[in-house]
Each structure stands twice: as structure tokens, then as C-alpha cells.
């Protein structure tokens, strides 16, 4: 029971990171019906912005809450610029083209950003000292202590707060109404006075900002990154978005939590080398028996 509880804590932490990345995938798909395959690299760039900002601020993390807020805001700002650039360069010029063209363009942007970071920052891993050390020992039995670290609790609270804010933004703001209108019919939304281009750009910026928060969480929790972390994390977050139901924000978070817990429990009780196979295997089973995902709804096209 103790070991199970510890892996549950670890899985929820990892799942929160996957869920925030998956939100970017599901938002872009919901508004333009396409997958942003450069989103994993946006997350990677956000993690690098976090480490660079921490290095600039120095090794002495005095006034820790202020430092964390500054690091998070700076990484979100710079990563949002990259997200906006991806939309302007890879998607907007090809929006009226056949559907395969933006997909190829996004893959090209992904490769370009990955190599850009490799050239700018080097191929070696980038470690950072623990920023939020310490935690609680919940209980100990059978020579095994169940621990909840401060950074894990911080990630849980931040994830819950962001999901609540996002739900309110989509449901109760003018931007959220514009996004929902563009999701249903971009042409009609434009005829009704909605600036479709601006709404789509803001959606990419919001998704990139969530990826930056996920990168911030990764650095806080694991303390090491490299230029390649975006590929596998992006693939798993895309899997999470599909698992939960592509186009559904609660589904993206649910899928992320499930993928994180599958990885944690598989690594604990079975061979760690096959944890990725387990996650993708669960996805295959879900898509066989429920093609729309756990919380997704079938698309209905008017003809």
C-alpha cells in the first residue's frame, strides 16, 4: 500500500505536466481542426527559458515566491512569442490549403526549433539545483516512507488553479465565446464580426503559455533538461489529448493524468523499459472501443 501511494503521487505529478501540454494540442485542434506537431518543442523552449532565467537571477534564491513568479512569467512571455510565430509562419499562410500542408509545415517547424535550441544551447543536458527542496513524510511502514515533496504539492495546486482559470475563461469571457464560435464555424464567426485571425493567434499563444508552465513544472520537479525532451513529451501529451478526447479541455487533463499514472505504475511494478509501450497500448484499446476518447464527442458535419 505504501509503495502504491508513492507511485500514485508521482503519477499525478507527471500527469499534471502531460495534461498542461495536452491542453495546447486540444485547443489548436478545436479551433482549426489541425494538430500542432511543433507544440512539444514549444514546451522544450519553455523549459530552457526557465533555466536561463534562473541562471540570470543567480544561485541564491532569496525571496523564493517572487523569484518563482518572475521565472514563470518570463518563460510564458518568451514561449508565447514562439507559439505566435508558429501560427504565423506554419499555419496562417496554409490555412486554405489542403490539410496535409500545415501538418508538414508544423513538423518542419518542430525540427527547426529542435536544432535551433541544440545549436544555441548545446546538446548536453542542463541540470539545475533544486529550487523548492524539502517535503513531508506522510507515513512509514515496512521500511518504506511515503513522501510528498513541496514541489509536487506546488505542481498540483498550480495545475488545479490553471484548469479552473481556463474553464472560466472559455465559459465566461468574450475571448472564450469567440473561440467557441470559431470552433463551430470560422466563416460565420467572421461574418458576425469576430476577428478570426486574432482569435486563432491568441489560442496558439494561450497553448504555448500552458506549455511554458509545463516546462516550468518539469524543471522544478526533475531539474534536468536537454534539447530533445520536447519530442517524447509532446508525443505523450498528444496521446493524452486523444485518450481524453481531442478537442475537450477536461479530456486533455484527464488523459494527461492517466498517461502519467500508467507510466508511474508500470515503471514500479513491471519493466521500466516498456512504460511507453504500456501508455500507447492503453490508447489503442481506448480508440478501438471508444474512438472519440474518454470525454470526446463525435463530430457531426452538415452537408
The CA distance from 155 to 216, in Å, is: 10
Instruction: Provide mean pLDDT across the span 118-127.
Output: 91
Looking at residue 48, what is its pLDDT?
95
Average pLDDT, the chain: 87
In a domain, 268, yes or no: no
Is the pLDDT at 237 greater than 80, yes or no?
A: yes
- Which range of residues forms the domain containing residue 214? 20-229
How many domains would you assign to the chain? 1
Cβ-based neighbour number of residue 245 at 10 Å: 22
Q: State the cell numbers at 180.
A: 467557441
pTM of the complete model: 0.91
The CA distance from 255 to 26, in Å, is: 11
In a domain, 262, yes or no: no
Angle formed by the axes of helices 196-222 and 2-32, nearest 10°: 160
What is the per-residue DSSP string for 211-250? HHHHHHHHHHHH-EE-TTHHHHHHHHHHHHHHHH-TT-HH
Looking at residue 219, what is its pLDDT?
93
In a domain, 1, yes or no: no
In a domain, 275, yes or no: no
In a domain, 247, yes or no: no
What confidence category does residue 4 fall into, taking pLDDT thresholds of 50, 70 and 90? confident
Query: Which position has the higher pLDDT, 77 or 134?
Result: 77
Q: What is the pLDDT of residues 141-154, one digit of tens each?
A: 777 788 889 999 99
Element (H, E) at 109: helix 100-121
In a domain, 244, yes or no: no
Amino acid at each position: 500500500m505504501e509503495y502504491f501511494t508513492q507511485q500514485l503521487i508521482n503519477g499525478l505529478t507527471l500527469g499534471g505536466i502531460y495534461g498542461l501540454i495536452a491542453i495546447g494540442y486540444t485547443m489548436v485542434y478545436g479551433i482549426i481542426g489541425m494538430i500542432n506537431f511543433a507544440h512539444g518543442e514549444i514546451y522544450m523552449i519553455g523549459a530552457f527559458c526557465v533555466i536561463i532565467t534562473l541562471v540570470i537571477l543567480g544561485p541564491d534564491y532569496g525571496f523564493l515566491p517572487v523569484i518563482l513568479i518572475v521565472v514563470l512569467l518570463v518563460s510564458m512571455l518568451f514561449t508565447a512569442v514562439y507559439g505566435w510565430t508558429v501560427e504565423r509562419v506554419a499555419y496562417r499562410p496554409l490555412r486554405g490549403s489542403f490539410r496535409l500542408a500545415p501538418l508538414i509545415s508544423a513538423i518542419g517547424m518542430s525540427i527547426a526549433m529542435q536544432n535551433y535550441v541544440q545549436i544555441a544551447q548545446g546538446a548536453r543536458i542542463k541540470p539545475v539545483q533544486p529550487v523548492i527542496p524539502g517535503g513531508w513524510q506522510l507515513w512509514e511502514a515496512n521500511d518504506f516512507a511515503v513522501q510528498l515533496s513541496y514541489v509536487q504539492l506546488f505542481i498540483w495546486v498550480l495545475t488545479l488553479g490553471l484548469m479552473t482559470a481556463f474553464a472560466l475563461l472559455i465559459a465566461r469571457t468574450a475571448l472564450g465565446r469567440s473561440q467557441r464560435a470559431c470552433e463551430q464555424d470560422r466563416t460565420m464567426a467572421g461574418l458576425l464580426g469576430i476577428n478570426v485571425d486574432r482569435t486563432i493567434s491568441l489560442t496558439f499563444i494561450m497553448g504555448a503559455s500552458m506549455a511554458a508552465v509545463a516546462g516550468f513544472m518539469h524543471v522544478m520537479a526533475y531539474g534536468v533538461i536537454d534539447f530533445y525532451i520536447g519530442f517524447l513529451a509532446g508525443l505523450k501529451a498528444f496521446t493524452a489529448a486523444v485518450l481524453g478526447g481531442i478537442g475537450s479541455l477536461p479530456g486533455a487533463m484527464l488523459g494527461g493524468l492517466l498517461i502519467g499514472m500508467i507510466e508511474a505504475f508500470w515503471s514500479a511494478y513491471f519493466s521500466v523499459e516498456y512504460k511507453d509501450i504500456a501508455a500507447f497500448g492503453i490508447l489503442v484499446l481506448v480508440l478501438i472501443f471508444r474512438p472519440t476518447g474518454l470525454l470526446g464527442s463525435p463530430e457531426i458535419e452538415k452537408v
